[in-house]
Amino acid sequence: MGLKTVSGQGKTRMAEASALDLNGVAVHPGYLDAGAQAAMVEDLRGVIRAAPLYAPVTPSGKPMSVRMTAAGRYGWFTDRKGYRYEERHPAGGAWPAIPESVLSVWRDLVSAERMPDCCLVNFYAEGARMGLHQDRDEADFTWPVLSISLGDEALFRVGGTARKDPTRSVWLRSGDVAVMGGAARLAYHGIDRVRPGSSALLPKGGRINLTLRVVD
Ligand code: SIN
Ligand code: MN
C-alpha cells in the first residue's frame, strides 16, 4: 500500500489553507477553478457516453432519485440483490477509465502512490437527494473517500459514525472538494437538496458528484 497523506498537512496549495472542517470532513471550497471544472465536465461526457447514467434501485426496491454511473476498475452498484461493487456496467461493458483530470485531484489531496479503483458518478436533477448513509462497502477504511462537486449547489449534511449523532450542514458549490478520511471516513452523510439554477456549468442544469474510493 502506498504512502498516505492526511489532508491539510504538509501541503502548499492555497486551497489547503482554506479547508473547512465539517465534523471531521475536510471541505476545500473552490478547489477547482472554472476552467478545471469545464475540462472535467468534458471528460465526464466521455465517461457517460461509454457508460450511460442509469436509474439505480435500493435493495428494498425503492428507486433512487439520483442517476448513476462509474469509471474505474469497479463501479459501486445497487439493485434488489444489494449494495456492492461490480466490474461491469449493467449494460455489460467494462467501466471506462477514470479521467486524468479527476485522478489529479486524488493525487493532490490523498496519495500519489495508490490510485482509486472507483469513481462513482451521481447526477442530481432538480428534486434529487441522497439520504444519510455511510460509505462502507470498501475493504480498507484507512483510505479516504474524496468527493468532487460540479454544477448546482447542494446541501451536504455530515454526522458522526452513529446514525443518531448530531449533524452539521454546508452548501457544496461547483468546484468544491470534500475529503472524508480518518475518524470521518465512516461518518453518516447525505444531500438534503440541490438548488436549481445556482450554477451555469451544466447547460441543462443539475449537479454531478464524483466520489473516488479505494475498493480492495
Ligand atoms: C454520496 O455520498 O455518494 C454523494 C455525496 C454527494 O453527492 O455530495
Ligand atoms: Mn456516500
Domains of the chain in start order, with CATH, are 18-213 (2.60.120.590)
Regarding predicted confidence, which is higher, 86 or 8? 86
Cβ–ligand 1 distance for 177 under 6 Å, the answer: no
Give pTM, 2 decimals. Answer: 0.93
Residue closest via CA to ligand 1's atom 8 equals: 209
pLDDT at 4: 40
Q: Which ligand is nearest to the CA of 207?
A: 1
Residue 17: pLDDT band with limits 50, 70, 90:
low
Q: Which helix (H) or strand (E) holds 83?
A: strand 82-86
Interval 48-73 mean pLDDT: 98
Q: Residue for cell digits 450511460? A: 52
Tell me what percent of the residues of the chain surpass a pLDDT of 90.
92
Q: What is the mean pLDDT of residues 136-153?
A: 98
Judged against a pLDDT cut of 80, whether residue 133 lies above it is answered with yes
Angle at 168 (CA atoms; ends 127, 4), nearest 5 degrees = 100
